[in-house]
A and B are shown apart, each in its own frame.
Chain A
Amino acid sequence: MTKHPPRWAERLLEWYCKPELLEDLQGDLNEFFDRNVKAKGVRRARFIYVLDVLKFCRLYTIRKPDSITLLLHWIMIGSYIKTSGRSMLRNKLFSSINIVGLAISMSVGLIMIGVLVDISSYDKFHEKHDRIYRVISQRQHLGQDDGNFNATTSRRSARAIQETFAGIDDVAVLHRGFEGDMKVGEKVLPLTGFYANEGVLRVFSFPLLKGNPATALKAPFSVVLTELTARKLFGDDEPIGKTVIMNQDKAYTVTGVMKDVPKFSHMKFDMLGSMSTRDIAETASKNEWSWDNVWSTWVYLELPEQADLNAVQSRLNTLSRKEDPSTPNTHIQLALQPLDNIMTGENLNNQIGTILGSTLLWVFAGLSFVVILSACFNYTNLSVARSLRRSREVGIRKVIGALKHHVAMQFVMEAVIISVLSGVVAFVLFLLLRPYFINLQPDLQQLLVLEPSPFLVGCFFVFSIVVGLAAGIFPALFFSRINAIQVLKNATSVRLFRKVTLRKVLIVFQYSVSLMLITGTLIIFKEYKHFVSFDLGFSTANIINIRLQGNSAERLKKELRELPEVTDMAEAWLVTGIGHYAGEQVRNPHQPEDSALVYFNRVDEHYIPFLNLELLAGRNFMTRPDSSEEREVIVNQQVLKRFQLAEQNPQRAIGEVLHMAGKELKIIGVIKDFRYGKPGNNTPNEVMLRHAVKDAGMLHVKIAGGDNAATYARIESLWKKIDPVHTFSAKFYDDTIKESFSGISASVKLAGFVSLLAICIASMGLLGMVVFTTETRLKEISIRKVLGAGEGKLMFLLGRGFFMLLAIATFIAIPSTYLFCDAVLLKRMANPAPLGVGEGLVGVLSVMAIALVMIGSQTLKVARSNPAEVLKNE
């Protein structure tokens, strides 16, 4: 082992220490080091040395910044900007590639920063946001937990915490389900909100504009409205003390009006009802206070400053131990989650509102990081590839008197200028991409604003400078090391970039990633198209599905019959084929111990002909009086198969009786199988149709083709006449199906965008490599030309190597993408479209075409160059 102090510590000392003090300090440290080596061993001595170096870093030892150097840098900045500008203008192609490449990847980074800024500003408006904790719970049955923690806990635990816990300042309790149609006079508004205890107004910063915060949520049947809701309901009238009727049932008194809930609140509501209401209204429910009913209550604790979280946690554990016996075989684990952590934390079940969650944030951050890193790498790659031209300039600068750090400074400056320019372009891209990104998913729409505020713009500016520094540091170091004499004597003699193999590997890597991404995108897109146009077994064209929202179907139908465009109508309880399910356990008529889940839909007698479902045997439902008991059911072939009824003969199955939920339903008809669930889901397909007597909830309207938008508008205006309260909620069946696959379409868009980025970046990397190679081989090419080689031959010679690289990338990317999609992606979906060669071919061809243009244009330029011009300079 060396008996030497750590080199880096010595250098650190040399760097920060005043020159006049340095020698003495070094000597002293060395003397102590030698002593310590003898007394305590080398390792310990080295450790003490480092400590002492750090300890010596005091005001009187630190070297004052060299004012001359600073002044020089300051004077030279003008010159740097000038030369950078000139060199950018001279190489318009390179500069624009650099700027565009950086800008594209930076726009992703900007969106990422925007998301981070938005997400981290959540819930900061609460004055005590750093002291508020949410109680989260996990239910473990027979020692097995059911996955994640829930954001909710039980009301029982809330009461116990409130009554028995010491050292907690306040408790806020919210309960789901305070929502419905609120009626004032003739006005009706559908509103959502929570039941809330009095603590909610104390713990959170939801200031009341009117009413007394101490008592507003105290009495049962009190309601606090937000400002906006109050204005909608009462206009300019005084709302306090007025009565609102909820769901034509319970009367609530308005006791307060609060400021609207800020956008950046993780909980959003129109109103709060007093928690004490539940104690009167829900007395019958025995579940209300049970220990394992952890699904409906959110509990927030306000802890004193510098509270001991471990103490609170251990009290929660004690509570669990005490209460667990009340629910056999079940353990409820409670834990605390900081309010500031809700938006960025784990994806818990039962959130009070939508959250982004850490998983998505990490994936997105990782993606942006990779994209930006490869763009920085390309910048480095291209600037070093251009070094042949710039090295003379550096040589002359050095001869005139520039030091290493002056040259480095110049190149860093240049990179920063380019990255700031890219930042401006990226900002424009950001503004263009913003609406698309936000509309990618309904959740994002609710969560994010991405408002280009001054703070955000400041962040962007800092970000572009950081990117510039990261991209410029390597070229700066490279150029500052150039040997002036050698470079001026003979520029080509400098071995500029030895690590060509590394660059080859990187190109193969970049192209493999691009190919994988583009092929993957094409495959997902194919699946999307396949599912959207999937044959469900019934026709969905030109059908509008209207949610009745409590209105009488008969009334609407009467109005709609007046429209000439409406050709047919049918009622149903839920829309099939989009992933909505309802099921009932049905007993096997011949084997009483066997039962199976059979999905069902409640429909009226028009439904079967309306959707062109094929009735194989028996008859359709017939109109029956509203009060009559349900007796009949129509099943599909799968039910016959599942229960082995009548040897699967539809004719003979008529008359069999199915038992379910205390009812006996006779099979009156058998229909051909159709798709009840979402085509992509692996769900069984036993389905029965039950007769809806009155107002099934959904009205299917078939319209004659033609101007669908106009017809839709006409139906909407009809709706407004019938129900002025609820907004018209209707969609074309085909659109609903597309929406049910919005997850896939969102990933197609996102993956498509990322593959575009990857291809851009990879292409630029390739271009840099091609230019570098062709420029270094310029003389060789000229000599070959003089000796008689043709242009085509020369292009082949130059391009051969690159096409080998691309071929390798293809052989890596295409099989692995197909294997991955086959083994992972398609395994998870039911009824996928089979993988075809087409996607891979299109992917490879499009990427190859771009690469071909790039390689071709550069090699052609070199192959066409005049050999006399090149060679005379020797």
Chain B
Amino acid sequence: MKGTNLGEFEELVLLTIATFVSDAYSVAICDELEKSSGRSAKLGVVHAVLNRLEEKGLVKSALGEATSTRGGKRKRFYTVTNGGKAALLKAKEVRDGLWSRIPAFALK
């Protein structure tokens, strides 16, 4: 299947969702991304990525309770699926494997 591979930004978003455990929603993800990576994350871009991740089956989403903020609109909370976890682990493995093969002096 196309797209089990993670893009760089997709990986960042997926990791961010994982850090939130259960209350990850678009605006919070945006803010967290900006804080942790230091680069500005546009809402439109994040939405597109979330949509793609859901299509790939790496995250699942559910609407929360209605609140008085946000003009009475409900939030959509994202959680990482098992497939998502596997994809993250696989990406980490690939990186760790490559890191371990770099001779010590090369990046000193």
Interface residues of A (CB under 8 A from B): 21, 23-32, 34, 52, 55-56, 58, 60-61
A263 to B30, CA, bound (A): 64
Closest Cβ–Cβ distance, residue B77 to chain A (whole Å)? 10
Asked if B71 CB lies within 8 Å of chain A CBs, one says: yes
A281 to B26, CA, bound (A): 84
Q: Is the CB of B70 within 8 A of A60?
A: no
Select B63's contact among A24, A30, A55, beta carbons within 8 Å: A24
Q: What residues on B are CB-neighbors of A29 within 8 Å?
A: 43
Interface stretch (choices B16-24, B44-52, B85-93)? B44-52
Known: A28-B26, A30-B70, A30-B71. A23 touches B63 (CB 8 A): yes
Known: A30-B71, A31-B70. A25 touches B27 (CB 8 A): no
Q: What residues on B are CB-neighbors of A28 within 8 Å?
A: 26-27, 43, 47, 70
Q: Is the CB of A60 within 8 A of B75?
A: no
Closest Cβ–Cβ distance, residue A25 to chain B (whole Å)? 7
Interface size of B in residues (CB-CB distance below 8 Å): 16
> Who on chain A is nearest to B55 by CB?
A60
Known: A52-B43, A56-B47. A32 touches B27 (CB 8 A): yes
Asked if B69 CB lies within 8 Å of chain A CBs, one says: yes
> Who on chain B is nearest to A4 by CB?
B71
Interface residues of B (CB under 8 A from A): 26-27, 42-44, 47-48, 51, 63, 69-71, 73-76
Select A55's contact among B27, B44, B69, beta carbons within 8 Å: B44
A150 to B28, CA, bound (A): 67
Q: What residues on B are CB-neighbors of A21 within 8 Å?
A: 51
A25 to B43, CA, bound (A): 10
Select B75's contact among A24, A32, A55, beta carbons within 8 Å: A24
Q: What residues on A are CB-neighbors of B74 within 8 Å?
A: 23-24, 27
A26 to B74, CA, bound (A): 9
A29 to B69, CA, bound (A): 12
Closest Cβ–Cβ distance, residue A39 to chain B (whole Å)? 13
Known: A31-B69, A52-B44, A58-B44. A24 touches B27 (CB 8 A): no
Closest Cβ–Cβ distance, residue B34 to chain A (whole Å)? 13
19 A–B contacts from the bound complex (CB under 8 Å) = A23-B63, A23-B74, A24-B26, A24-B75, A26-B71, A26-B73, A27-B75, A28-B27, A30-B70, A31-B70, A34-B69, A52-B43, A52-B44, A55-B42, A55-B44, A56-B47, A58-B44, A58-B48, A60-B51
Q: What residues on B are CB-neighbors of A26 within 8 Å?
A: 70-71, 73
Q: Is the CB of B73 within 8 A of A23?
A: yes
Known: A34-B69, A60-B48. A24 touches B76 (CB 8 A): yes
Q: What residues on B are CB-neighbors of A58 within 8 Å?
A: 44, 48
Q: What residues on A are CB-neighbors of B51 within 8 Å?
A: 21, 60
Select A27's contact among B42, B48, B70, beta carbons within 8 Å: B70
Closest Cβ–Cβ distance, residue A48 to chain B (whole Å)? 10
Q: What residues on A are CB-neighbors of B26 within 8 Å?
A: 24, 28
Closest Cβ–Cβ distance, residue B44 to chain A (whole Å)? 5
Q: What residues on B are CB-neighbors of A23 within 8 Å?
A: 63, 73-74, 76
Nearest first, the 8 closest Cβ-Cβ pairs linking A and B are A27-B73, A30-B71, A27-B70, A24-B76, A55-B44, A30-B70, A26-B73, A31-B70
Q: What residues on A are CB-neighbors of B44 within 8 Å?
A: 52, 55-56, 58
> Who on chain A is nearest to B26 by CB?
A28
> Who on chain A is nearest to B77 by CB?
A24
A505 to B88, CA, bound (A): 74
A28 to B73, CA, bound (A): 9
Q: What residues on A are CB-neighbors of B76 within 8 Å?
A: 23-24
Closest Cβ–Cβ distance, residue B69 to chain A (whole Å)? 7
Closest Cβ–Cβ distance, residue B56 to chain A (whole Å)? 13
Q: What residues on B are CB-neighbors of A52 within 8 Å?
A: 43-44
Best-surrounded residue of B26, B27, B71, B76 (most CB of chain A within 10 A): B71
A871 to B69, CA, bound (A): 62
Select A30's contact among B42, B47, B48, B73, beta carbons within 8 Å: B73
Closest Cβ–Cβ distance, residue B71 to chain A (whole Å)? 4
> Who on chain B is nearest to A59 by CB?
B48
> Who on chain A is nearest to B51 by CB?
A60
Q: Is the CB of A27 within 8 A of B47?
A: no
> Who on chain A is nearest to B69 by CB?
A31
Closest Cβ–Cβ distance, residue B67 to chain A (whole Å)? 9
Closest Cβ–Cβ distance, residue A17 to chain B (whole Å)? 11
> Who on chain B is nearest to A25 by CB?
B47
Q: Is the CB of A31 within 8 A of B47?
A: no
Closest Cβ–Cβ distance, residue A251 to chain B (whole Å)? 78
Q: Is the CB of A32 within 8 A of B48?
A: no
Best-surrounded residue of B27, B63, B73, B75 (most CB of chain A within 10 A): B73
Q: Is the CB of A32 within 8 A of B73?
A: no
Best-surrounded residue of A21, A24, A27, A32 (most CB of chain B within 10 A): A27
Q: Is the CB of A24 within 8 A of B73?
A: yes
Q: What residues on B are CB-neighbors of A34 within 8 Å?
A: 69
> Who on chain B is nearest to A60 by CB?
B51
Closest Cβ–Cβ distance, residue B58 to chain A (whole Å)? 16
Q: What residues on A are CB-neighbors of B71 within 8 Å?
A: 26-27, 30
A23 to B63, CA, bound (A): 9
A231 to B98, CA, bound (A): 84
> Who on chain B is nearest to A30 by CB?
B71
